[in-house]
Amino acid sequence: MDNLAGSGSLSRRQLLGMIGVTAGSAAMYQAMSSLGFAAESPYREPIDLQGTPPGASVLILGAGIAGMTAAYELRNAGYQVQVLEFNGRAGGRNWSLRGGDTYTELGGYTQHCQFDQGLYINPGPWRLPYHHRGILGYCKRLGVPLEAFVQVNYNAYLHNSQAFGGKPQRYREVKADYQGHVAELLAKASHQNALDASVSREDQEKLLESLREWGALDSNFSYVSSNSVSDRRGWAKEPGGGLTARPIPSQPVGLSEVLDSRLWSNIPSGDSYDMQTALFQPVGGMGRIGEAFGRELGPLIRYNARVTDIHQDDQGVTVSYQDTGKPGSALTASAQWCLCTIPLPILAQIPLNVSAAMAAAIASVPYASAIKIGLQFKRRFWEEDEDIYGGISYTDLPITNIGYPNTGYHSAGKGVLLGAYIWGLNAMEFTSMTPEERVQKAIEYGSQIHPQYKEEFDNGVAVAWHRSPFTMGCYGMWNADSRARHYDDLCQIDNRIVLAGEHASFIGGWQEGAVTSALDAIGRLHARVVARGATA
Amino acid sequence: MKRLRRLLRQRAMGRAAALLLGCAAATIACADDASFGSVITISNANGEDIYSHICQGCHMPHGEGAVGAGHYPKLAGDAALTSWQYVALTVIGGRNGMPAFGAPESLPWDSPTVHLSDAQVADVVNYVRSHFGNHYKDRVSASQVAQLPHPTAVPAP
């Protein structure tokens, strides 16, 4: 960037380098925040399993999205199905915490959620991209109503505690200023013939026209205060009616300050494939999907079952388990086949006779650390005081995000924010605290963005995924090496056992990974069952 | 606490950013708060800091571990700690769901992880082997840790 200041014209390389700043941030954003490996879901239509032999049976371990997808389809295909679930509820990581709920994390720390009626947070997944056809398809089939999830809110904040005196900036201002300045620079370069080597003269005319449009540049291709610029970034005084009508344009922030702030890093927050509009959320909380599956499957699910041993032989699979309410109890369940969705950190500790290759794969996937904190406030000050309706603010503070409720706008009474959504080292540190300390920290940090926090705070809950008794982590972290070495071994049917879950997918950390992994697994399992015929 | 605050002031932004992989990471590490090691160069954190900021999330404040559908091993009185190599290898390379903390910073995980130096691995190994009722006298050095196998970045195919 130093070269920009002193030189009369820009080399193509310099320009590309500058643009790379944006592309790089987009790529980094994706890695950090989207969970997204941007793989498109292969799901097209409901699976069709024909010709199930009479008496064929499958034991399913885990009543999360993968396990219940498999149970639902296999039951419909005529299998005898039983599901063992550790928790006392269906859904697994598909989960909403609501007022009256109690949650005890590992270490024995118990929280009693005190949210008002109808208010919730989703400790796990919270958004459904439009192209996640599998999970959306089950919402449709199970009658789970959806509403819009706001990913990008132009009036939410981008915040860097070290820039602009720590004052949060509106997304629309940062975006307009960044885009306007970059457009102006490119226009300048084009006028100075710096782009001749890469863009024909004819195309440069079109490029200039597009830059003016894209950056809200004036007739001289400059990004300066104007009505059209204020139409992007907002006004110093808004246009109105009558005698108070006349608007006053706002003043853009200079290029150097925009770049130094690093707030551009979150401009592409809605550009990655997983985050593009339209996104959805179930009305009433993400947990409505798991609850609907649970109702649908009814007595097929055996709750409070802690699996202690999984054993297969030529005849079938026998699973030993305890009733979590009756320590020391020794129960068993058997079937011809087994689909196991137990998260890998737990499965790795359960005696299981599978091939060495599959066992190695099970032991090779570390789980991500993640935190979500829900904060109830006495009023919806983000709407009342700041015109923020849904969406997300991003900050450099350890809380990383503040998510505003995408529902219940203008409701009287209290409201619940997602007060933190954290990955990586900061998540590990939040995990190391007590739930009360986490909530307290979220209040302290969040009040740097919303000073109303301290006055309006009511109560909160904090979920640290590494302290979740039923997952011991948030989701499976793969890399190119572990994928190459272990992924296929993890997904193969091992005699009578097959695994499924987001960990057995390329859409890791997303419910769509769980759905597509389950459908792929039962498709292969069914083919094997049919090939063997009624003798199993 | 005081020492952490001092470290806070010493932090090097770039290093902290590299640690956290990514953007938000580049901007995460800014709060002046001793509760968060990430706001310092974690490379300066000692064994006690590392334990109380990272390890205790799972292994619990007194090394007591925890039991749910699976379990986090207790470190208090665990016979496995007799072998410093076992402990160090676990920290470096991870075990089951536990992430690797000794992977090179360049290793392209799909999600943020934390990198600790060999000296830090040695320090945290020494810490857990001399706390929670453990009294192992042999202390491990960074050079001993360096000789153990570390996760490596894979060459492009």
Residues of chain B neighbouring A432 (CB-CB closer than 8 A)? 52-57
- Cβ separation of A479 and B97 shorter than 8 Å? no
Q: Which of residues 52 through 91 in chain B touch A, CB cutoff 8 A?
A: 52-58, 60, 66-72
Q: A157-159 and A391-395 as β-strands: parallel, antiparallel, unpaired?
A: parallel
Closest CA to B50 of B145, B128, B130: B128
What is the Cα–Cα distance from A437 to B60, expressed in whole angstroms? Answer: 15
Contact B85, B148 (CB under 8 A): yes
Instruction: Tell me the percentage of chain B whose pLDDT exceeds 70.
Output: 67
Q: What is the 3-state secondary structure (H, E, C) of A202-222?
A: HHHHHHHHHHHHHHCCCCCCC
Mean per-residue pLDDT, B95-123? 84
Alpha carbon of residue A31 to chain centroid = 12
What digits encode the pLDDT tens for the residues A1-47?
233 333 334 444 443 344 444 444 333 333 333 333 445 677 877 89
**A147 Cβ contact list (under 8 Å, min separation 6):** A280, A281, A282, A283, A406, A407
Residue A31 three-state SS: helix
List the one residue out of A446, A462, A466 whose CA is nearest residue A454.
A446
Cβ–Cβ under 8 Å, residues A393 and A449: yes
pLDDT of residue A525: 98
Contact B97 A344 (CB under 8 A): yes
pLDDT average, residue stretch B29-55: 69
Lowest mean pLDDT segment, chosen from A192-196, B14-18, B150-154: B14-18
The predicted pLDDT at position A536 comes to: 55
Q: How far apart are CA A149 and CA A261, in angstroms?
A: 28
Q: SS3 string of A3-18? A: HHHHCCCCCHHHHHHH
Q: Determine, for residues A428 and B98 on separate chains, whether the beta-carbon distance falls below 8 Å.
A: no
Partner-chain residue, chosen from B22, B60, B69, that has the shortest CB–CB distance to A31? B22
State the Cα angle at B103 between A433 and B114, rounded to 5°.
25
Strand partners, A8: none
Residues of chain B with Cβ-Cβ distance to A160 below 8 Å are 27, 30
pLDDT of residue B123: 97
Find, in chain A, the residue whose alpha carbon is nearest to that of B112. A424
Closest by Cα among A439, A421, A404 to A370: A421
B100, amino acid identity: A
Task: Report how far residue B71's alpha carbon sits from residue B67's, in angstroms, rounded to the nearest whole number.
Answer: 4
The pTM of the full predicted model, rounded to 2 decimals, is: 0.89
Closest CA to A79 of A532, A527, A526, A533: A526
From the CA of A532, how many Å to the nearest CA of chain B? 34
Distance from CA of B2 to the nearest CA of A (A): 18
Report how far residue A488's alpha carbon sits from residue B62's, in angstroms, rounded to the nearest whole number.
39
- pLDDT at position B108, please? 60
Inter-chain touch B69–A346, beta carbons under 8 Å: yes
Report, as an integer, the average pLDDT of A303-329. Answer: 97
State the DSSP code for A447.
Answer: T
Cβ-Cβ pairs closer than 8 A, A with B, add up to 192
Of A33, A428, A433, the CB nearest to B24: A33
What was the pLDDT predicted at A367? 95
Nearest beta carbon to residue B31 from set A397, A479, A509: A397
Give me the mean pLDDT over the B20-48 stretch: 51
Give the pLDDT of residue B152. Answer: 78
pLDDT tier at A481, thresholds 50, 70, 90: confident
Rounded Cα distance, A422 and A223, in Å: 36
Which residues in chain B are closer than 8 Å to A306, comparing Cβ atoms? 69
At A40 the pLDDT is: 64
Cα B142 from Cα A218, distance rounded (Å): 61
- Beta strands A305-312; A317-323: pairing state: antiparallel
pLDDT at site A81 = 98
Q: Are A64 and A271 in contact (CB under 8 A)?
A: no
* pLDDT tens-digit map of A131-188: 999 999 999 999 999 999 999 999 999 999 999 999 999 999 999 999 999 999 999 9
Q: How far is the C-alpha of A336 from the C-alpha of A481, rounded, in Å? A: 34
Average pLDDT over residues A365-370: 95
DSSP lists the bridge partners of residue A121 as: A97
pLDDT over threshold 50, residue A217: yes
Banded pLDDT at B27 (limits 50, 70, 90): very low
- Which chain A residues are Cβ-neighbours of B23 within 8 angstroms? 25, 28-29, 32-33, 265-266
Are A472 and B53 within 8 A, CB to CB? no
Q: What is the model's pLDDT at position A42? A: 76
DSSP conformation letters of A377-408: ESS-HHHHTT---SEEEEESSTT-EEEE-SS-
